Chain A
Amino acid sequence: MKKIENVSRRGFLKKLGISSTALVLGVQLPSMLTIPKALAGSLATDKFAPNVYVQIGTDNIVSIVVHRSEMGQGIRTSIPMIVADELGADWEKIDIVQGLGDKKYGSQNTDGSRSVRRFYQPLREAGASARMMLQQAAANRWHVDVSETKADNNFIIHETSGRQLSFGSLVPAASKMALPEASALILKAKQDFKFIGKSDVALVDGEKIATGATVFGFDVELDNMQYAVIARPPVLAAKVKSFNADAAKAINGVVDIVQLADLEEPAVFKPLGGVAVIATNTWAAIKGREALDVQWHESEHQVYNSDTYKEALAKGCDNPAKVLRSKGDVAKALSDAKQVLKASYYVPELIHVPMEPPAATAHYHDGIFDIWACTQTPQSAQGTVAQITGVAAENINVNVTLLGGGFGRKSKPDFVVEAAILSKQLNVPIKVLWTREDEIRNGYYHAASYQKLAAGIDERGQVSAWQHHVAEPPIGATFSKGADLIGSEASLGLIDMPYDIANVRCAIGKAPAHTRIGWMRSVTNINHAFAVCSFADELANAKHQDSKAHLLTLIGKDRKIDFSTENAEYSNYGETLDKFPVETARMKAVIEKASDMAKWGRKLPKGHGLGIAMHRSFVSYVACVVEVSENSDGKIKVHDVWMAVDCGLAVNPERIRSQMEGAAIFGLSLTFFSELTANNGVIEQSNFDGYQIARYSDAPTTHVEIIASDAAPGGVGEPGVPPIAPAICNAIFNATGKRYRELPLKQYGIV
């Protein structure tokens, strides 16, 4: 692994042009809808569409296309590991090519924790077919049976004679071979894996990051490029009334002022509108924007105030509009119960704050767009730019840079469209940069949510009823104006509550959206798991039982859960229950593992407490145990987090660990610190002072263990987040006896 290149489309096509110097092969990949089917999705997605490519040159270099976006999850390392392993490639002779946005790759929508989940098999097949064609070419040359050959380190080796031929030398012959039938493909046995499942593979971009040589969206530089900063409406859909272009133009370095079309809802991925300041550098553009003094018309969304909104959400829970899961008779079971427990939970509106705010560079020339962006979804960037500018999609080249974090923000390409519109109008390359204030105040938000739970405990001390009501504005409102009931979000931790309880009812209340609602790392699993896993612990306490033992009891006997038998339409992250069942045995196994790691049940120092939570999301299972302590000032410290993850076969264990470590910090941030509030429709926070996230001294030590499994690979980027908040709050309860049901905890003065 040496060079990493990001080629332009033309160069790329030239390189892939079928010639005798290159062996190119296509594999069938599942295609999925590229638009907004964020995560949950329907089952009818497995269409087949073209093509991911492996390319081997006569120079013996293996080029591997990474068609998914790198945002810290390590996909630019993991995809090559899969392909190179099956191929028998030499890791030192791999070139990584970042794929442009193009349908031929199948879905490139890098969200929903599905890069490996969806592409593990197709990528292995890509590597295997290339390897088998090389083997056949070598066997023909040697006049031996192909079964006597194997691939290793970029050579095909004849095992008995020890003869070997490099991949590069076989390229002309191999490129004339027929593609093996899918049914004839021989995949490697697990014990022969060289890269898959190994922890010693260095990050492919590690050296460049350490030397500052990587290119993120913010870093793209083109000749004659100008910098744009945009004043966007402070309240969603507010239209521009007036602005002072002259004052802005008087700023040294400001070149132009462009008013953008006002937003007509639904927002979808359209730009928000406003006024763009074009300048010779970012600083001048920022100064210019300050001078603009934009005045805005009123917007219907200025009714949005967080405190009254929260009350309305709570009322929404009392009058649910739709029942999404119902088993048995909850009303009767509650009235028959010996003890009824009720609790309400609130999680505020949140935002992604990727370290790099959105940025995109567009160059419109000769009827073509060349675009570079830190996008999670180059195809919907391409599609949306096409739709809005009228340029045909095939003339829009979307290059994906590295992403300085994504967390779901960069799967909405509004910022890419802004750059495209400006470049087309002004006929120069334009880089649009979002400041931190823009990112926080004009985002796609994680919805505020209110949840009311009730449970009944019967005479025998069993939990006999479970009722969970939720009100939260839906992501659907971003795509369909006025939508006020959640849809796919319900499959993210609400209707898939896994406890074995005879009477269950999950229902949702109405909640109108006043900001663009989007998906943020693990989405509504965050708040749903917070409520479900906290409430489970409250039940343990009500029954005077150990948290862990009670959790295992609640989950009950080994079984595969099919929520459709309880009148629930569970989407299982777009996967079938055959391939990815909901297995209680795996839930219990991660609970046992995390408890072992934490030595659950040990005697704790004074003021310390352990808390536990388990949640299945993105078809993976994560349990975590947290140790906290309360000091004499009543301040809470999180010392250790033990996470056990079962994500099926672990392709890149090293990155799985780092994703869990990151998830712990992400979860800790929203548990203690992060909160957005709205005042007359305006988000009040604007930077890391108001919208806080965890820093060094807040960071616990996170210990991760991965359950050995041969099950199909599940998601990794998101499933670590949901159990963190409830595990922390459960630990605080066990340490202090205080139960916190509203986030973030900083409001209680305990940090």
Chain B
Amino acid sequence: MITLTVNGKAHQFNDDGEMPLLWALRDVLKYSGTKYGCGKGLCGACTVHVDGQPIRSCITPVSAIAEQKITTIEGLSEQGEHPVQQAWQSLNVPQCGYCQSGQIMSAVALLDRNAKPNDQDIDLAMSGNICRCGTYQRIKKAIHLAADLATEVKGS
């Protein structure tokens, strides 16, 4: 038995420890905000945070998580008030929206370690996240906006 702490809540997990965290989250624990896109660590749709670090949950077995804290898109804020979520909405970033959970989780992780990333920082940090709809340019803009929003929040 493994205890998985997702968004602050502890869950007992009795299934196959080799199961990738993605499927444990989605099918067993019913956190469907984290998406499947490739299952091979190639697209970033499944990105979640483990102790604040972005990881690809599709290639991370549950057994590798142990005591660490998992944060999914659902746990980023109570009601979508995280600056990144706000920026995404105010710039109408998404098209289909399917990749966006992963994009947002990668963006949040980037801003956590670099409060004012430039375009190159963004390209680098986000290069593992694919958006087939092609929202890259808006995401870049939204990350800059989120950086500004976060500074304002801190400042006020």
Contact = CB atoms under 8 A, between A and B. Distances in A.
Nearest to A405: B96
B16 interface: yes
A685 to B, nearest CB: 12
A214 B135 CA distance: 18
B28 interface: yes
Contact of A206 (B79, B88, B131): B88
Contacts of A701: 137
A207 interface: yes
B98 to A, nearest CB: 3
B97 A283 contact: no
B137 A203 contact: no
Interface in B12-62: 15-16, 19-20, 23-24, 26-28, 30, 32-40, 42-43, 45
B74 A693 contact: no
A160 interface: no
Interface residues of A, number: 64
B45 A355 contact: yes
Interface string A211-235: 1111110110100000100000000
A438 B30 CA distance: 24
A283 B23 contact: yes
Contacts of A356: 35-37, 96, 98
B40 A436 contact: yes
A213 B100 contact: no
B97 A404 contact: yes
A284 B104 CA distance: 28
B92 interface: yes
A736 to B, nearest CB: 24
A695 interface: yes
Looking at A209, A210, A281, A664, the one whose CB has the most chain B CB atoms below 10 A away is A210
Nearest to B96: A72
A406 B127 CA distance: 23
A565 B123 CA distance: 52
A273 to B, nearest CB: 23
Nearest to A437: B39
A29 interface: no
Contact of B42 (A206, A402, A687): A687
B122 A696 contact: yes
Contacts of A211: 33, 73-74, 76-77, 79-80, 85
Nearest to A720: B134
Chain A interface secondary structure, helix, strand, loop or mixed? loop
Contacts of A436: 37-40, 43
Nearest to B27: A281
B15 to A, nearest CB: 7
A596 to B, nearest CB: 21
Contact of A688 (B24, B35, B43, B79): B43
B137 A695 contact: no
B133 interface: yes
Interface stretch (A87-95, A302-310, A630-638, A655-663): A655-663
A70 B98 CA distance: 12
A73 B95 contact: yes
A699 B26 contact: no
Interface string A233-262: 000000000000000000011000000000
Contact of A214 (B45, B97, B122, B131): B97
A699 B134 contact: yes
A74 B134 CA distance: 14
20 contacts: A72-B96, A210-B104, A212-B33, A218-B36, A219-B26, A280-B27, A283-B16, A283-B23, A283-B24, A353-B132, A658-B92, A658-B135, A665-B136, A687-B40, A688-B38, A688-B130, A693-B130, A694-B136, A696-B123, A696-B127
Given A72-B95, A284-B19, 20 more contacts: A71-B96, A72-B133, A210-B85, A210-B100, A211-B76, A218-B32, A218-B35, A253-B16, A282-B27, A353-B132, A355-B96, A356-B35, A404-B96, A405-B132, A436-B40, A436-B43, A661-B137, A687-B40, A688-B40, A696-B122
Q: Which 4 pairs of residues, A with B, have the shortest CB-CB distance?
A: A212-B33, A665-B134, A404-B98, A72-B95
Interface of A: 70-74, 202-203, 205-207, 209-216, 218-219, 221, 227, 252-253, 280-284, 286, 353-357, 402-407, 433, 435-436, 654, 658-659, 661-666, 687-689, 693-697, 699, 701-702
